[in-house]
Amino acid sequence: MSTKSAVITLSLAATAAALTGCSVLDGDKIDYKSASRGTSLEVPPDLTQLSGSTRYNVPGGAVTANALLATQIRQGDSKNVANDQVADVQIHREGNVRWLSVPREPDVLWEPVRQFWMDNGFVLTMDQASIGIMETDWAENRAKLPQDFIRNTLGRVLDSLYSTGERDKFRTRLERRSDGGTDIYVTHRGMVEEYTNNAKDSTIWVPRAADPELETEFLRRLMVQLGLTEEQSRAVVQAEQASGVSGGSRASTFGGAAIVNVSGAPSLELQDDFDRAWRRVGTALDRTGFTVEDRDRSQGLYFVRYIAPNAEREKPGFFGRIFGQGTSAPPPVRYRLQVQSQGAVSHVQVQNEAGQLVPANEADGIIKLLYEDMR
């Protein structure tokens, strides 16, 4: 019996117990504290991409604790209002991208943000302050497990047999702004366990769509880590979601996206100026799982690693076959993604390490992958 079958059996038993009068306890919607590091679920982002979209393009803007403070004072409600020292955190939204802006240096914010993820039960597999990127290991949201009679009674004895069949990982990117402040982005990637055959005796892990609600919730929690109270952070996020415009901010959505041909190579055309295109490309790279090794905003360059979907895998040798080793993935290839803008239109092209445009068949997969997230 597979792990998933065992989980189903336990769930059926739990349901029966619940129907006999045992109540189901409601817990927090997010609880990764019991997540433990296990077998890596990492797959090349281009091998098994989802057909679904993570887009939720709605009007956006920026909501600040200062703006919320002014509104509450005008309405005569001054309790639980952010004070001056915590009123510097802003939440922004443009199209399908949300981020925090904080007028503090990245090196000042790095350790609090790092501690934030560890306090929420995650193990960091990437922790590179030099490029401003940290990433968690795959973890399970245990709050999704049923709080039934069997689990509550036997506790940890059977807890390891329960599984949601889902895993999550989060990437945090800190970017220094020209005014000395920092923009903080949080992006989600998900995997789901699926049966490989009708007999349901084996399973595999495949990608599932990114969850924008999870991204927003962790941004909200990060606001608390940076000084706001729970009440303040919830009010700021609710105000941003309800109005899209606050404190003089203008509603904002991203422009369109299209695949075009530039200089004989497939390119991504965005109806956005450089700042917005840069944010958009960076978030798409994070959500689709590219390994970003470095970036140079002044030249519009992202330095990434990528494995092509049609790359041949190396077959195991004689002893490898004896010991059951599978085919090994080819080494990733390094590319440069360049964002170039002219007014309100930007283009993204794929270059090799030397800065030359790669052949069309090579660039096509990367361009299409980014387009699926941004169109």
- Classify the C-alpha dihedral 359-364-370-375 as positive or negative: positive
Mean pLDDT score across all residues of the chain: 75
pLDDT at 249 over 70: no
pLDDT at 31: 83
The pTM of this model reads 0.71
pLDDT digits (tens, 9 = 90+) for 266-324: 999 999 999 999 999 999 999 988 989 999 999 999 999 987 655 444 455 544 544 45
Q: Report residue 136's pLDDT band, with 50, 70 and 90 as the boundaries.
A: very high
pLDDT at 72 over 50: no
Q: Quick one: 184 exposed, middle or buried, by C-beta within 10 A (0-12, 13-18, 19+)? A: buried
Q: Tell me the domains of the chain and their CATH numbers.
A: 83-143+164-229 (3.30.530.50), 252-310+328-374 (3.30.310.170)
Cα 314 from Cα 326, distance rounded (Å): 9
Strands 265-270 and 133-136: unpaired
CB 162 within 8 A of CB 145: yes
pLDDT at 15 over 60: no
pLDDT at 224 over 80: yes
Cα 57 from Cα 253, distance rounded (Å): 7
For residue 135, the cross-strand partners are 126, 171
Reading phi first (left if > 0) and then psi (alpha if -120 to 50, else beta), residue 180 is in left
Cα 267 from Cα 351, distance rounded (Å): 11
pLDDT at 78 over 50: no
